[in-house]
């Protein structure tokens, strides 16, 4: 099992290299592990965990993390999380993208990671696309390619190998592949989505595919399509690095035959590393099925050996000495955030005065996790910063109906993951009917949230809700502050 299991990247529960976790590594033979927020307490614990995992196996172990910055991070405590791809895309700056990649790569390398599953080089689709959102550099393929390449090179300069994703592009998708399989019609040309991957193929140590059926490429699901994985990516783009599947336990990869069938089918399609990100039984079933496939000749020994060679190359490339980053991450985050901040509507409408009474209503549900300290609830962080900036009467309300009978001058309405809030549409309607002339909307969730706000008089869009971005929003609000003229 162990030799075949070298084709696996696995996840596990818990924050320690327990006997059960070590046993799973040894029994499966996995070449790589991936850590999620569920495995993270703080930076020192992560360093210790990774060191213990590596010491537990007699082979080079690749340790990967989904640390895209922006909306998708796994490590946030004691960090200034950098604004993500959408914010970088608005700046259009290759220099900022490279510096962001270098900073992120250096921070992850300092913790012991050697492979970062970034950048996302899907073109941004519709505003309500459930995947691309803030995770994409933009809709323009040339921009995505330029900034994606600079970011990937920066990651390598910082000390981590880069894995571009999600081939062949999730821009046209309308369903989240974590939940179900997206279908893309044959009439939608796949070539614009492929262009960024062609640009990054020479520089990325790894590339990840996605669970998608694009009828313009193949009627088979991409994950299980040799025509797409081996034909279009490996041969068509001449890609020589390691090809990773996405998690085979996602809804979009579901097969009636189960994980064993999925693992073999993904290997036959041309993937080198197969992700099974949870469930001990699933990991061992996939490893057993791969071993049986080799024994029975369904998986060719020659192709298996080539995959192991590419995995070994990835491990050597990923295991380079961390190079570090001499740039202050807080300053870099604020620089990116300033370039990505946009305002829709009339800035004069902010019109804050020193004695103004401000109320904040967060229409999101649940905290942002993982979050930088103090920023799990954007409204609370904004209120704190506004008070520090000199405004005295600033209150965060738990429910919109608390405004009834209150006296206030401006209402900051935080838009955040409204699709998860069953009452959001009604709340928005009531707020606008009563107080539209006092509202400033702040988009702290995915871009699709703004579709629920028809012709806002003023909407501040920081392209994300990390601390630096919220601080730039506060600067904008306080910059309009009108101080009374001394008598």
178 is catalytic: yes
Question: Does residue 1 surpass a pLDDT of 60?
Answer: no
**Residue 401 and residue 349 share a domain:** yes
User: 130 with 241, same domain?
Assistant: yes
Indicate if 304 and 352 belong to the same structural domain: no
User: Is the same domain home to 6 and 107?
Assistant: yes
Using the CB atoms, write b or e for 21-34: b if 16+ within 10 Å.
bbebbebbbbbbbb
pLDDT averaged over the chain?
93
pLDDT (tens digit per residue) in 79-96: 899 999 999 999 999 999
Mean pLDDT for 422-439 is 91
CA 293 to chain centre: 33
Does 325 map to a domain?
A: no
Per the document, the length of the chain is 487
Beta strands in 161-288 (DSSP E): 161-167, 183-184, 206-209, 213-214, 242-244, 274-276
Q: Has residue 332 been placed in a domain? A: no
347 with 314, same domain: the answer is no
Host domain of residue 444: 341-479
Confidence at residue 445, expressed as pLDDT on a 0 to 100 scale: 87
CATH number at residue 22: 3.20.20.300
* Residue 419 maps to a domain: yes
Number of domains the chain is built from: 2
Residues 354, 240 within the same domain: no
Q: How confident is the model at residue 364 (pLDDT cuts 50, 70, 90)?
A: confident
Pick from 252, 283, 318: which residue ends a domain? Answer: 318
128, 140, 178, 409: the catalytic one is 178
Q: Which residue has the tokens 């307490």?
A: 41
| Each residue's pLDDT tens digit, 226-254 | 999 999 999 999 999 999 999 999 999 98
Give the CATH number for residue 377. Answer: 3.40.50.1700
Confidence of residue 169 (pLDDT cuts 50, 70, 90): very high
Buried b / exposed e across 246-277, counting CB within 10 Å, b at 16+?
Answer: bbbbbebbbeeeebbbbbbbbbbbbbbbbbbb
Confirm whether 236 is domain-assigned. yes
Q: Are residues 462 and 410 in the same domain?
A: yes
Are residues 359 and 313 part of one domain? no
Q: Is residue 486 situated within a structural domain? A: no
> Taking 90 as the threshold, does the pLDDT of residue 17 lie above it?
yes
In a shared domain, residues 184 and 94: yes
- Note if 246 is an active site residue: yes
300 and 375, same domain (yes or no): no
In a domain, residue 223? The reply is yes
Secondary structure (3-state) at 56 = helix
Q: pTM of the prediction?
A: 0.95
Q: Which of 66, 80, 122, 246 is catalytic?
A: 246
Clarify whether residues 314 and 365 are in a common domain.
no
**pLDDT above 50 (res 487):** no
| Separation CA 215–CA 88 (nearest Å) | 32
């Amino acid at each position: 099992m162990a030799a075949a299991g070298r084709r696996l990247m696995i996840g596990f529960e818990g924050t320690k290299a327990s006997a059960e976790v070590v046993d799973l590594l040894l029994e499966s033979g996995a070449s790589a592990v991936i850590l999620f927020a569920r495995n993270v307490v703080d930076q020192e614990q992560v360093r210790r965990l990774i060191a213990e995992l590596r010491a537990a196996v007699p082979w080079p172990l690749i340790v990967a993390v989904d640390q895209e910055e922006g909306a998708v991070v796994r490590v946030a405590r004691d960090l200034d999380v950098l604004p993500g791809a959408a914010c970088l895309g608005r700046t259009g700056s290759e220099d900022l993208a490279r510096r962001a990649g270098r900073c992120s790569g250096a921070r992850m390398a300092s913790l012991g990671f050697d492979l970062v599953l970034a950048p996302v080089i899907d073109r941004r689709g519709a505003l309500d696309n459930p995947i691309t959102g803030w995770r994409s550099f933009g809709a323009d393929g040339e921009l995505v390619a330029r900034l994606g390449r600079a970011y990937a090179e920066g990651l390598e300069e910082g000390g981590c190998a880069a894995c571009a994703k999600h081939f062949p592009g999730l821009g046209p998708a309308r369903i989240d592949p974590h939940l179900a399989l997206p279908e893309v019609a044959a009439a939608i040309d796949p070539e614009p989505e492929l262009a960024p991957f062609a640009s990054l193929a020479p520089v990325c140590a790894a590339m990840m595919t996605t669970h998608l059926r694009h009828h313009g490429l193949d009627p088979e699901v991409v994950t299980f399509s040799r025509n797409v994985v081996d034909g279009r990516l490996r041969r068509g783009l001449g890609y020589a690095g390691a090809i990773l599947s996405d998690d085979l336990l996602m809804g979009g990869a579901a097969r009636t035959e189960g994980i064993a069938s999925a693992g073999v089918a993904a290997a036959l399609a041309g993937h080198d590393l197969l992700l099974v990100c949870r469930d001990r039984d699933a990991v061992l079933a996939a490893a057993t099925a791969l071993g049986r496939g080799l024994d029975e000749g369904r998986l060719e020994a020659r192709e298996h050996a080539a995959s192991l060679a590419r995995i070994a190359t990835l491990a050597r490339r990923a295991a380079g000495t961390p190079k570090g980053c001499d740039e202050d991450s807080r300053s870099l985050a604020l620089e990116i955030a300033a370039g990505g901040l946009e305002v829709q509507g009339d800035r004069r409408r902010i019109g804050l005065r020193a004695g103004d009474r401000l109320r904040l209503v967060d229409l999101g549900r649940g905290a942002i996790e993982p979050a930088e300290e103090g920023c799990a609830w954007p409204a609370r962080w904004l209120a704190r910063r506004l008070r520090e900036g000199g405004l005295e009467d600033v209150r965060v309300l738990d429910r919109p109906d608390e405004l009834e009978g209150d006296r206030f001058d401006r209402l900051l309405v935080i838009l955040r993951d409204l699709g998860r809030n069953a009452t959001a549409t009604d709340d928005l309607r009531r707020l606008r009917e009563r107080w539209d002339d006092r509202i400033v909307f702040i988009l702290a969730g995915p871009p699709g949230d703004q579709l629920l706000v028809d012709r806002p008089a003023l909407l501040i869009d920081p392209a994300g809700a990390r601390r630096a971005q919220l601080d730039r929003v506060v600067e904008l609000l306080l910059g309009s502050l009108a101080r009374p003229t001394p008598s």
